[in-house]
Amino acid sequence: MAASHPHAVDALLEGLGRELDRASPLPLYYQIKELLRERIERGELRPHERLPSENELERALGVSRMTARRALAELETEGYVYREQGRGTFVAEPKLRQSLLRLTSFTEDMRARGLRPGARVLDVRVMRDERVAARMGLEPEEAFVRVRRVRLADGQPLALETAYVRAALCPGLEAEDLTDRSLYQTLRERYKLQLGRAEQTLEAGAATEFEAQVLRIPVGQPVLLIERLTFLGDGRTPIEFVRSVYRGDRYKFVVELRR
């Protein structure tokens, strides 16, 4: 674990003090948070480097303890820093970026970033779910193979994924070992199914007790809720519906807009 040299912390506090604008209508906690965020994003503060404590911010900047606490708390909520009990506040690893322009698997995304993808299987079963069938435009009695997994990057949990795959199109899928293996790769190689397109929605949420437990985050921490409906190569035949809960402190999605 890296730690800032005392002189580096002093220099940081001196810089913050010069840039803090007490005449600005922006609250002081927000200014402190933004000044620290900008330094993190520019790479001036590196991952696992220690930030000034609440007490240090209070003394050096002449602000209240509540102001200092709120600035650090918001940085933590947004995933820029993490705290360790009795040790302090440290710069977090940069968030993983995923493009919304291509249909790729979690495994492909992680490998493209030089990370080791993995999966821990929680349960696999054949079942019927009328709500999922309706979402996919299928008959209520359609059977699915439900695969619930925790997705990992370099051994760290990033997402809780629940996939419903049409059992009729991939018989025996429930017996496949999907630990540390791409579901899309299995569909392609084992069942010769080619994926064509997907419809995906994203929204903000808060981690439930179960989600927090498997993702190793506090209950109520912000998460990204994602639903994806995937079609085969003909663009019309649905094959999979997946609900995923991504850690909001480690993941962000990117889309390019053109005029």
Amino acid 100: pLDDT = 56
| pTM (predicted TM-score) | 0.66
Question: Which residues neighbour 52 within 8 Å (Cβ) at sequence distance 6 or greater?
Answer: 9, 12, 13, 60
Instruction: Write the pLDDT tens digit of every residue in 198-210.
Output: 898 889 899 999 9
How does pLDDT run across 173-192, given as a tens digit for each residue? 999 999 888 898 899 999 99
DSSP state for residue 19 in the 8-state scheme: H
Mean pLDDT of 232-242: 94
Name the residue ranges covered by the structural domains of the chain.
6-91, 96-254
pLDDT in tens, 103-124: 566 666 666 666 777 889 999 9
C-alpha dihedral over 117, 256, 245, 198, to 10 degrees?
A: -90
Model confidence pLDDT, tens digit, residues 25-69 = 999 999 999 999 898 888 888 888 889 999 999 999 999 999 999
Lowest mean per-residue pLDDT among 99-103, 178-182, 240-244: 99-103
Residue in 189, 183, 204 with CA at minimum distance from that of residue 103 = 183
Identify the band that residue 142 occupies on the pLDDT scale cut at 50, 70 and 90.
very high
Query: Domain spanning 6-91: which CATH class is it, in words?
Result: mainly alpha
The confidence score (pLDDT) of residue 237 equals 95
Mean pLDDT over all residues of the chain?
A: 87
Rounding to the nearest 10 degrees, give the CA dihedral for residues 17, 71, 249, 114.
Answer: 10
- Predicted confidence at residue 1, as pLDDT, reads 44
What confidence score (pLDDT) does residue 80 get? Answer: 84
- Residue 6 is predicted with a pLDDT of 56
Alpha-helix runs per DSSP H in 90-208: 106-112, 130-135, 183-189
Domain covering 96-254: architecture: 3-Layer(aba) Sandwich (3.40)
Residue type, 24: S
Among the listed ranges 9-13, 16-20, 104-108, 189-193, which one has the minimum average pLDDT value? 104-108
Percent of all residues in the chain with a pLDDT value above 70, rounded to a whole number: 89
pLDDT at 186: 92
Count of CB atoms situated within 10 Å of the CB of 11:
12
